[in-house]
Amino acid sequence: METRLSYQDRVVVISPETPFAIIGERINPTRRKKLAETMAQGDYSVVQEDARKQIEAGAQILDVNAGIPGSDEPVLLRGAVQAVLEVAPLPLCFDSANPDALQAALEVYPGKALINSTTAEESMMARVLPLAKQYGAAVIGVITDENGIPATAKARLEVARKLVNRAADFGIPAEDVVIDCLALTVGADHNAGKVTLDSIALVRQELGVNMSLGASNVSFGLPDRKVINVAYLALAIARGLTAAITDPTVPEIQTMLLACDLLMGRDEYAMRWIKAFRKRSKPAPA
Amino acid sequence: MDLATIYEYVIDGNAPQVQAGVQAALTQGVAADVILNQALIAAMNEVGRRFEEGEFFVPEMLVAARAMQAGLSLLKPQLMESGVKAAGTVAIGTVKGDLHDIGKNLVAMMLEGAGFEVQDLGVDVAPEAFVKAAQNGAQVIGMSALLTTTMNNMKSTLQALQEAGLRSQVKVVIGGAPVTDAFAQQIGADAYAPDASSAVRTVRGVLA
């Protein structure tokens, strides 16, 4: 199944056959003081710098979050989106739980965006899915509903199914629903990693839709987080994960994702791997 | 068994040994509040210190808290009987719309480990539920939010407390990744705590 996102005539395809889709996560003011301060004043220079760095590092899609408490989120999200597009002509992912902010961004975006996200709660779906339909956007569906996050992979599959079915009710095809099986923290529950991995395999097998994950949550509270994050993504990719919201400027993540593409048959003649190796090996300018 | 050994078992997160140790100490006639203060609470203070200094990680804190609770469950009947008062009562929860529970659970455990009576309201807690807890006598309301989109519900809870005429009776302490000291001041909370260990100090501080 192919999820096609676009910005003007630039198209990015999320699918099991194409290179793994990196959704750059850095444009998010949570716990990033300088970004938050500049954004709150309508200064998008740090936002633009983050956009450039992530594209350079291989991001195909950029997540844009403008949730700053006490600020006007619709205004900021729209402003950030416009600023990013000035320097980064590529598909964007609008990250907000506020439908007004999502709409403000969708209105000014010429192309097919990704909405991040709706849960399977009826009240959320009723607000977010019509927006996705109206603006022809794809949407990330997070597998949690009125009862919280299901404990088992089987129960999570059912929530994923509900998301796909409800989207269809609103006229959104399954290929435009990207399921997020939720990475929970193994530091709090050592089985949390496995339940998510099992869910990914099950959703892939039963629904065949594309899946994304905000992977770095998995290692919260533990030492050597990068190693855990990278291993987790690799295990998830083997089970059918086709996109991740992550930081491509972390060298370990960038390299591991390229290796996964090669090993999953998505890098013909290993050309991308070799090219990236040359780039890494080039001595830094003196 | 001596209290220093129980103390070590709490830090190691060895629940069965803590229970055995507490039982043995009670049989030897050591007072429940002495065991509580010198073994369990003292150990959790040390766990909190190690966590704050980056020496301990989240799972180690969780197993230590579990071991502490195993010991505490044996002490509770005696503590109630002898009329030992809790350090204070705290009702804690993650605010409406937010399902993150790890930070909230850690804070709850550390508060229990510090001798507070803790009522855990769970996640996705509506303002009315916090109000009810305040009506039922909680001295401190603890709120957690992990999303920029849900932290404004802390403000709604404060307003609800105000409207119920309870605001002056309770202290409100807030925390969570996107929360800051400035935000706490802005919405009129009494204090902000950056992590589970400092939350204990903060709660003691607002009650002092």
> Do the Cβ atoms of A222 and B58 come within 8 Å?
yes
Domain membership of residue B41 as a residue range: 3-81
What share of residues in chain B are helix, strand, coil (percent, to 5)?
60, 15, 30
The residue assigned the tokens 């399921």 is A179
CB-CB neighbors (< 8 A) of A117 in chain B: none
Of all helices (H) and strands (E), which one includes residue B156? Answer: helix B152-163
Amino acid A67: pLDDT: 87
Domain boundary among B60, B81, B102: B81
> Do the Cβ atoms of B152 and A97 come within 8 Å?
no
Cis peptide bond upstream of A117, omega within 30? yes
Q: How far apart are CA A115 and CA A26, in angstroms?
A: 16
**Do B180 and B107 share a structural domain?**
yes
**Do B114 and B169 share a structural domain?**
yes
Amino acid B76: pLDDT: 87
ipTM above 0.95, yes or no: no
By DSSP bridging, strand A3-7 and strand A10-14 are antiparallel
First to last CA, chain A: 46
- Chain A residue with Cα closest to B147: A30
Give which of B148, B153, B155, B195 to mutate to test A binding, by max A Cβ within 10 Å: B148
φ, ψ dihedrals at B142, nearest 5°:
-110, 130
DSSP A20: P
Amino acid A11: pLDDT: 96
Q: How far apart are CA A92 and CA A102, in angstroms?
A: 12
**Do B96 and B43 share a structural domain?**
no
| Contact B148/A at CB under 8 A | yes
First to last CA, chain B: 34
The residue assigned the tokens 């997160």 is B13
DSSP A13: E
Burial of B29 (0-12, 13-18, 19+ CB in 10 A): exposed
> How far, CA to CA in Å, does B97 sit from each of A15, A34, A98, B150, B153?
31, 27, 12, 6, 8
> Do the Cβ atoms of B149 and A223 come within 8 Å?
no
Radius of gyration of chain A (CA): 18
* Structure confidence by residue, pLDDT tens digits, A101-130: 999 999 999 999 999 999 999 999 999 999
Amino acid B113: pLDDT: 86
Of all helices (H) and strands (E), which one includes residue A25? Answer: strand A21-27
Please enumerate in sequence order all residues whose Cβ is within 8 A of that of B127, keeping only pairs 6 or more positions apart, or say none. B96, B153, B156, B157, B159, B160, B161
**Do B96 and B68 share a structural domain?**
no
The residue assigned the tokens 């409800």 is A166
| CB pairs < 8 Å spanning A and B | 54
CB-CB neighbors (< 8 A) of A188 in chain B: 58-59, 62, 102, 105
Tokens of residue B186, six digits:
């802005």
How wide is the angle at C-alpha A139 spanned by C-alphas A135 and A140, nearest 5°? 160
**Do B139 and B201 share a structural domain?**
yes
- pLDDT by 10s per residue, chain A, length 286: 999 999 999 999 999 999 999 999 999 988 788 999 999 999 999 999 999 999 999 999 999 999 887 789 999 999 999 999 999 899 999 999 899 999 999 999 999 999 999 999 999 999 999 999 999 999 999 999 988 889 999 999 999 999 999 999 999 999 999 999 999 899 888 899 999 999 999 999 999 999 999 888 899 889 999 999 999 999 999 999 999 999 999 999 999 999 999 999 999 999 999 999 998 888 766 5
Output B115-118 pairs: Cβ under 8 A, ≥24 positions apart: B115/B36, B115/B37, B115/B41, B115/B86, B115/B87, B116/B86, B116/B87, B116/B88, B116/B89, B116/B90, B116/B203, B117/B86, B117/B88, B117/B89, B117/B90, B118/B89, B118/B90, B118/B91, B118/B92
Tokens of residue A174, six digits:
């399954």
Give which of A142, A185, A191, A224 to mutate to test B binding, by max B Cβ within 10 Å: A185
**Do B182 and B99 share a structural domain?**
yes
Domains held by chain B: number: 2
**Do B66 and B138 share a structural domain?**
no
CB-CB neighbors (< 8 A) of B58 in chain A: 185, 187-188, 220-222
- Cβ-nearest to B178 among A69, A98, A223: A69
Burial of A60 (0-12, 13-18, 19+ CB in 10 A): buried
What share of residues in chain A are helix, strand, coil (percent, to 5)?
50, 15, 35
Bridge partners for A7 per DSSP: A10
| Contact A33/B at CB under 8 A | no
φ, ψ dihedrals at A14, nearest 5°:
-100, 120
Amino acid A284: pLDDT: 66
Q: How far apart are CA A190 and CA A196, in angstroms?
A: 12
Enumerate residues 99 to 118 of chain B having a beta carbon within 8 A of any beta carbon in chain A.
99, 102, 105
Please enumerate in sequence order all residues whose Cβ is within 8 A of that of B23, keeping only pairs 6 or more positions apart, or say none. B74
> Do the Cβ atoms of B147 and A70 come within 8 Å?
no
> How far, CA to CA in Å, does A28 sit from each of A46, A66, B25, B76?
11, 6, 52, 46
| Contact B59/A at CB under 8 A | yes
Is 80 exceeded by the pLDDT of residue B185?
A: yes
**Do B64 and B94 share a structural domain?**
no
CB-CB neighbors (< 8 A) of A29 in chain B: 148
Please report, as a single letter, which amino acid is at residue B19: Q
**Do B168 and B75 share a structural domain?**
no
CATH code for the domain of B38: 1.10.1240.10
Amino acid A286: pLDDT: 58
CB-CB neighbors (< 8 A) of A67 in chain B: 147-149, 178
Closest-CA distance of chain B to residue A38, Å: 16
Do B141 and B107 form a contact (C-beta atoms < 8 A)?
no
Please report, as a single letter, which amino acid is at residue A231: A
Of all helices (H) and strands (E), which one includes residue B78? Answer: helix B58-81
Q: How far apart are CA B80 and CA B78, in angstroms?
A: 5
**Do B70 and B96 share a structural domain?**
no
* Structure confidence by residue, pLDDT tens digits, B81-137: 887 778 899 999 999 988 888 889 989 988 988 889 999 999 999 999 999 999 999
Distance of CA B20 to the CA centre of its chain: 24
Closest-CA distance of chain B to residue A255, Å: 28
DSSP A148: B
Amino acid A157: pLDDT: 97
Closest-CA distance of chain A to residue B163, Å: 22
Please report which confidence band the pLDDT of residue B155 belongs to, taking 50, 70 and 90 as the band edges.
very high
Domain boundary among B81, B111, B134: B81
**Do B71 and B131 share a structural domain?**
no
- The residue among B133, B132, B143 whose CA lies nearest residue B183 is B143
Please report, as a single letter, which amino acid is at residue A244: A
| Contact B137/A at CB under 8 A | no
Residue ranges of domains in chain A, CATH in brackets: 3-17+90-279 (3.20.20.20)
φ, ψ dihedrals at A114, nearest 5°:
-115, 130
**Do B189 and B137 share a structural domain?**
yes
> Do the Cβ atoms of B99 and A30 come within 8 Å?
no
CATH code for the domain of B103: 3.40.50.280
CB-CB neighbors (< 8 A) of B123 in chain A: 148
For the segment B45-60, the average pLDDT, to the nearest whole number, is 91
